[in-house]
Amino acid sequence: MKSTADKREREKRMVSEMIALYCRKKHHTKTGLCPECAELEAYARMRSDKCPFMETKTFCSNCKVHCYKPVMREKIREVMRFSGPRMLFSHPVMAISHVIESKKEKKRLEESR
C-alpha cells in the first residue's frame, strides 16, 4: 500500500508536469512557467497539501469535494483537457499509470455505492 505522502507527491508531480506542458505549448515559455501558470501550480500544490481526503482518493478528479475556487477550477480544467492527451508523448509511463490508477479508483468508488 502506498503512503498518503507518496500519493500526494505523485499527484503534485503530475499536476506540475501538466501545467508545465500547457505553459510551454500555449504560452511559449522556454524555461520555467509564466506568472499565470506559476500561480496555478502553487495553488494546485497548496490544495493538494491541505487535502483531508488524500488517504481515500487517488486524484482530485475522483474527489466528491471540489475545493478549488471556481476561477482556478476552470483554469486547471483547461490545463487538464489540453495536457492530458499530450502527456502520452512527453511522459508516457506517468500518463498510463495515471489513467490506470484513475480507472481503478472510479471502479472502486462505483462498487462502494
| Per-residue pLDDT reduced to its tens digit, 51-84 | 888 777 767 777 778 889 999 999 999 999 999 9
Whether pLDDT at 1 is above 50? no
Q: Is the pTM of this model over 0.85?
A: yes
CB under 8 Å to 53, separation ≥6 — which residues?
63, 64, 65
pLDDT at 58 (0 to 100): 63
Q: Which of 31, 59, 32, 34 is nearest to 47 (CA)?
A: 59
Report the SS3 class of residue 94: helix
More confident of the two residues 80 and 113: 80
What angle separates helix 70-90 from helix 35-49, to the nearest 10 degrees? 100
